[in-house]
């Protein structure tokens, strides 16, 4: 349906709502929301299918069609897609937040108390389409968000229309890409959260499910490539149940990674 269209994108944990109005052809940034947005984020996140129960997948046909949409609007170097899933359940007052660490470089995503979050330095990382044609963040990461105001409204219109018409609302998420796209592997340590590492930094693990893709255009050829993968540890399963109290900080987390031979 053409005509007036209103879409929303939660861009930061403080949560800027980006309203997309068809007549303007551009994105506009209206009011800043107050604390309390984590209540909705927790509700959305806890309703996601757990990583151990994923049954759906994104077909090659859908990935190619999505690639055409992303490349058409020249957003393929900034945005990708993600197989929607959750991990640990979030309790009241918490959000799922990714923290970066080094040596090796990676990202540690875990439920984090909202009162400890610096709202000025957090942005939405993975978004799910919900009722009303809105993309809402269900995972956040530390760092400044890129300004989406130059992305054409028609991109969001076409993406929403495609996801809804093919019943992919609960399967395909919208993901903000980093400055460089690298092959990343994810490990799930239960209450300790999830860890994303560069594949080149992993010692021993077995890939078994692709969960993230980016799109490319090379000499007129539009294609897609997986860049995020679920991994099994040497213990077997993707999810290893570990009490969150055993990883209060990054050094403790790295000790767990070494224990399971993820890193040397």
Task: Please name the residues in contact with 17: beta carbons below 8 A apart, sequence gap of 6 or more.
Answer: 8, 9, 10, 11, 30, 31, 33
Burial class (CB in 10 A: 0-12, 13-18, 19+), 24: exposed
Listed as own residue / partner, the contacts of 42-45 with beta carbons closer than 8 Å and 24 or more positions apart are 42/90, 42/91, 42/92, 42/94, 42/95, 44/128, 44/130, 44/136, 44/138, 45/86, 45/90, 45/96, 45/138, 45/139
Instruction: Retrieve residue 102's tokens.
Output: 């080094």
- Note the pLDDT tens digit of each residue in 227-247: 999 887 756 565 666 666 677
| pLDDT above 70 as % of the chain | 79
Instruction: Specify the higher pLDDT residue, 47 or 172.
Output: 172
> Is residue 188 a contact partner of residue 97, using CB atoms and an 8 Å limit?
no
> Is residue 247 a contact partner of residue 195, using CB atoms and an 8 Å limit?
no
- Least Cα distance to 218 among 78, 80, 82, 76 occurs for 76
Mean pLDDT of 106-117: 88
Instruction: Retrieve residue 226's tokens.
Output: 């997986």
Q: If you ran DSSP here, which 8-state letter would residue 260 be given?
A: T
| Sequence spans of domains, the chain | 6-259
The pLDDT of residue 234: 58
Question: What is the C-alpha separation between 218 and 71, in angstroms, rounded?
Answer: 11
Rounded (10°) angle between helices 153-165 and 60-72: 170
Q: In 10 A of CB 50, how many CB atoms?
A: 14
The pLDDT of residue 9: 44
| pLDDT above 90 as % of the chain | 36
| pTM of the entire predicted model | 0.83
- Sign of the CA dihedral with 8 first, then 11, 16, and 18 last: negative
- Rg (Cα) of the chain, in Å, rounded? 18
Mean pLDDT of 15-20: 34
Question: What is the C-alpha separation between 137 and 158, in angstroms, rounded?
Answer: 19
φ, ψ of residue 119 in degrees (nearest 5): -60, -25
The pLDDT of residue 254: 93
Instruction: Specify the higher pLDDT residue, 203 or 39.
Output: 203
Alpha carbon distances (Å) from 11 to 75, 141, 189, 215: 16, 11, 27, 21
> Is residue 84 a contact partner of residue 170, using CB atoms and an 8 Å limit?
yes
- pLDDT band for position 12 (cuts 50, 70, 90): very low
Alpha carbon distances (Å) from 116 to 97, 119, 135, 144: 11, 9, 25, 17
- Does position 75 have pLDDT exceeding 90, yes or no? yes
The pLDDT of residue 13: 33
């Amino acid at each position: 349906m053409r005509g007036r269209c209103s879409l929303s994108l939660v861009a930061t944990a403080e949560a800027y709502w980006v309203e997309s109005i068809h007549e303007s052809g551009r994105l506009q940034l209206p009011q800043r929301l107050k604390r309390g947005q984590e209540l909705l984020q927790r509700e959305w996140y806890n309703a996601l299918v757990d990583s151990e129960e994923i049954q759906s997948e994104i077909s090659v046909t859908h990935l190619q069609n999505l690639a055409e949409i992303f490349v058409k609007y020249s957003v393929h170097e900034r945005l990708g897609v993600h197989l929607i899933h959750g991990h640990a359940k979030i309790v009241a007052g918490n959000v799922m937040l990714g923290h970066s660490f080094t040596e090796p470089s990676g990202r540690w995503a875990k439920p984090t108390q909202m009162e400890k979050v610096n709202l000025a330095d957090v942005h939405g990382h993975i978004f799910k389409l919900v009722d009303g044609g809105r993309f809402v963040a269900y995972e956040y990461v530390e760092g400044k968000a890129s300004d989406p105001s130059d992305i054409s409204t028609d991109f969001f219109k076409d993406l929403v229309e495609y996801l809804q018409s093919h019943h992919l609302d609960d399967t395909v998420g919208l993901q903000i890409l980093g400055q460089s796209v690298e092959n990343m592997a994810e490990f799930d340590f239960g209450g300790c959260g999830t860890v994303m590492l560069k594949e080149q930094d992993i010692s021993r693990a077995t890939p078994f499910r692709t969960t993230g893709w980016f799109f490319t255009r090379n000499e007129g050829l539009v294609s897609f490539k997986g860049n995020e993968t679920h991994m099994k540890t040497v213990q077997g399963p993707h999810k290893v149940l570990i009490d969150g109290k055993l990883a209060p900080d990054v050094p403790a987390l790295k000790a767990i990674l070494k224990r399971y031979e993820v890193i040397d």
